[in-house]
Amino acid sequence: MQTESGGHSNFTLIDRAHAEVTGVRDVDSFNDSLVVLATELGAMTITGSSLNISQLNKEDGRLIVDGEFDSVEYSGRAKGRGFLSRLLR
């Protein structure tokens, strides 16, 4: 998915046990039941059990999480440059 600001993020879940996320800017917090990410499209919260971050590449914005997934939720919006901010540079 790509926004007007050029940001993108994809979430792929395989067999409810393996997830690949792109567009990741940072991992805000994580434990075995919760992963909170900052993505290009806003905050993403993943809940489940036995969650494990098996790979994080901040240069590529790619994250791989394994475990048993219960929910995935986006909240907020990515902060992009709006029309007025581009106009008033």
Question: Domains plus CATH for the chain?
Answer: 10-87 (2.60.40.2000)
Predicted confidence at residue 8, as pLDDT, reads: 84
Alpha-carbon span 70 to 67, nearest angstrom: 10
> 39 versus 77: which is more confidently predicted?
39
Predicted confidence at residue 4, as pLDDT, reads: 45
For the ranges 1-5, 44-48, 75-79, the maximum mean pLDDT occurs at 44-48
Per residue in 14-65, pLDDT tens? 999 999 999 999 999 999 999 999 999 899 999 999 999 999 999 999 999 9
| SS3 state at 86 | helix
